[in-house]
Amino acid sequence: SVSQLNLYLRASGTGFGPSDEAVLRKYEKVLSSNYCRPGCSLCETRCPESVPVANILRYRHYHLNYGQKDLALQAYRRLHKDGSGCESCRTRACQLACPYNIQIPGLVSEWHKSIKRFFV
């Protein structure tokens, strides 16, 4: 939130200028189509396979955007269900429920395919 940002900036002793805003806008543009917002989970209520979509997309984000591959793989391994159900799903119910229009089946199945070799 803006109030939290202002609080952090005051605590850091730095200001927030136009160049900072430009960086944040660029980051938003790059990530908004594949970033699952915390606390939403509308997709999970519609998934016929009960895939923990929000967690999987968060772990994908840790791996691909934060470089925390080991953390992401460990967390993924602990899930009650993996993303394999998205590979054959044709309903796209999760995607239709997503208010951010995230291409959920594609992102989840793509990441699942790319990391499943670590679990053999």
Q: Going by C-beta distance under 8 Å and a sequence separation of 6 or more, which residues neighbour residue 109?
A: 83, 84, 86, 87
Q: Are 94 and 72 in contact (CB under 8 A)?
A: no
Q: Read off the pTM.
A: 0.81
Q: How confident is the model at residue 118 (pLDDT cuts 50, 70, 90)?
A: confident
Give residue limits of the domains in the chain.
Answer: 1-31, 36-119
The three-class DSSP label of residue 32 is coil
Mean pLDDT of the chain: 92
Q: What is the pLDDT of residue 100?
A: 94
Burial letters for 60-99: b for 16+ Cβ neighbours within 10 Å, e otherwise? bbbbeeeeeeeebbebbeeeeebbebbeebeeebbbebbe
pLDDT in tens, 70-108: 999 999 999 999 999 999 999 999 999 999 999 999 999
Q: What is the pLDDT of residues 13-71, one digit of tens each?
A: 887 888 988 998 998 898 889 999 999 999 999 999 999 999 999 999 999 999 999 99
Neighbours of 9 (CB within 10 A): 13
